[in-house]
Structure formats: structure tokens, C-alpha cells
Amino acid sequence: MISFPNAKINLGLNIIRKREDGYHDLETCFYPLQINDVVEIIQDDRRQTIDDSNDKLVIFTSSGLTIDGDEQNNLCIKAYHLLKKDFPALPAVKMHLHKNIPMGAGLGGGSANGAYVLKLLNEKFNLQIPEQQLIQYALQLGSDCPFFIINKPCFATSRGEQMETINLNLSGYKFLIVNPQIHVSTGWAFKHIQPAVPSKSIRQIITQPFTTWKDELINDFEEAVFKQHPSIHSIKKELYTIGAVYAAMSGSGSTIFGIFKNDTVITHPFPANYLVKEIAA
């Protein structure tokens, strides 16, 4: 069975407070973005007699962009083992991930992969896990993961798992996504912000005319990331120069997106090593 995990952007991101459990309460508007990875899962019938304690219940392979780090920390594999604990009959599988969404970019690619594996396993093996329970499983993988279970524009609070779908019509617009191939650590980004309750909620701002977003719809991570990486700040400024109605960093960076009217002809000056994609809203 094959699925196509998509990316996301954050339309505004406020870090409100640090919680006693070490996580942060936030508010944001998640918006799905059609840059896609590919995940395929097949049952490994030759290995069904394997001891369930063996960490090779998943044979994992990948292609596309290079995935750094220990394979066992990959959210795809973690998603399998998370369900295996509660569904012991879950069979051994082969799993292949083709990676297109850049990592450390604020686009949620790894989170999407983990969430989509939960959904794939649920469907393929008829586990009959309801959506709200899938959201709770996804939260155990990471704070962005629950969004990809519902995968619709939504206003999110708490760690990101409290979601309210919203009617956000961007049909007259398109996105320009610019990633400068800089990896920004989410952990580093959180250490360099000061949580604060905003004077106006993103829930309210997002319903206002786009012309007000430039001054009011803020990503709290931008200040620290722009100071550390001035080239990322330059991308945002350049997007406004070439006609963006709104531009911002997604998540903890490093991707900057611009929202343009559909009839805008975009001519950009970004270097050839940058990932630049024009995507319909």
C-alpha cells in the first residue's frame, strides 16, 4: 500500500508558555502544502515467525533526499512500534520512504511520514483505530504529527493536538516556497525564544483581510532564527519585494513562504542551490 505524505506551513506561530512537562503550549494555523514524500508498506510474509522482541520487525529502506541519524529514530519506524505495543498481531513489514520534503525546514516532513505510517498501518491491517485515537498516537511521535491525521486547514493549540478545522479559502492565491538548504534545529530554536501570550490570537488574525497579516501574523521563531541566519531573513524581505501579499517562516525554519495572487508572474532572484517551488494553494 502506497501513500503520499504532504508538507505543511504555519500561518502564524505563537509560543505561549513552557509547561511543567517540558513541552510548550502554542497556537498556530496549520495549512497543508502539496510537496509530497512517498511511503510504501508491504507485509513481509517470509518473516512472520520472527520473535516480536526483534528490532527488525521493520525492514526500512529509503531513497531521494539523504536521511541523517539513527534509523531506529525515524518516525516511520517509531510509528510501527508504537502500534505494535497495542496490536501484538501486527505483522512484520517492509517499508520504503522516498524523501522529497527537505528536513529541518519547518515543513513537517518527518512528522507527516510518521502520521501517514500510522494511517497506512491502520488501513492496511484493519486495526479500526478511530481518528481521535490516531491523533493521540501521533502526539507520542511529535507535536506536529497530529495535524497530519486530519490534514485540513486548522487552528491548533496546546502542543498542536487540540485542533479546530477552519474555512480558509486561498483559492485565488499561490505559494512560493523557498528553502536555502539550512538545517535549523527545533530544539535550538525553542531555547532562543521567550514564551508570551500574544495581544491578539492567531484565530482572530487569520479571519482578517490578508492585507493585515503582514503586520499582525507573526512567527515567534523568526527573531532568533533571522539573527542566527541573516540569509533566511533576506529571503522573506525579497518575497515582499517581488510581490508577495504575505511572507513568513514556517515552523522553526528554515523555509520561507510567500503568498501571491494567482495572476502574479513570479520572477525570483534566489540562488540555484536553493529549493524553490511554486505551488497552488
**Could you read off the pLDDT tens digit of each residue along the chain, which spans 281 residues?**
999 999 999 999 999 999 999 899 999 999 999 999 999 999 998 765 555 555 589 999 999 999 887 887 899 999 999 999 999 999 999 999 999 999 889 999 999 999 999 999 999 999 999 999 999 999 999 989 999 999 999 999 999 999 999 999 898 999 999 999 998 988 899 999 999 999 999 999 999 998 899 999 999 999 999 999 999 999 999 999 999 999 999 999 999 999 999 999 999 999 999 999 999 98
Report whether 32 contacts 8 (CB < 8 A).
yes
In three-state form (DSSP H/G/I as H, E/B as E, the rest C), the secondary structure along 4-22 is CCEEEEEEEEEEEEECCCC
Instruction: Give the H or E element holding residue 191.
Output: helix 186-191
Which residues sit opposite 260 in a β-bridge?
Answer: 174
Report whether 33 contacts 8 (CB < 8 A).
yes
**Catalytic entry in 78, 144, 220, 236:** 144
**Catalytic entry in 8, 119, 174, 236:** 8
Nearest to 43 by CA among 121, 114, 99: 121
pLDDT at 47: 62
Domain 2-164 bears CATH identifier 3.40.50.1820: no
pLDDT at 186: 87
Cα 220 from Cα 228, distance rounded (Å): 14
Question: Rounded to the nearest 10 degrees, how much is the dihedral formed by the CA atoms of 108, 250, 151, 264?
Answer: -130
Domain 168-280 bears CATH identifier 3.40.630.10: no
Q: Which three cell numbers stand for residue 216?
A: 499582525
pLDDT at 169: 87
Report whether 140 contacts 21 (CB < 8 A).
no
List the domain boundaries for the chain: 2-164, 168-280
Domain 168-280 in the same topology as domain 2-164 = no
Cα 79 from Cα 94, distance rounded (Å): 14
- The yes-or-no answer on residue 55 being catalytic is no
The CB density around residue 86, as the number of other CB atoms within 10 Å, is 11
- The yes-or-no answer on residue 8 being catalytic is yes
pTM: 0.92
Phi, psi of 26 (to 5 degrees): -140, 170
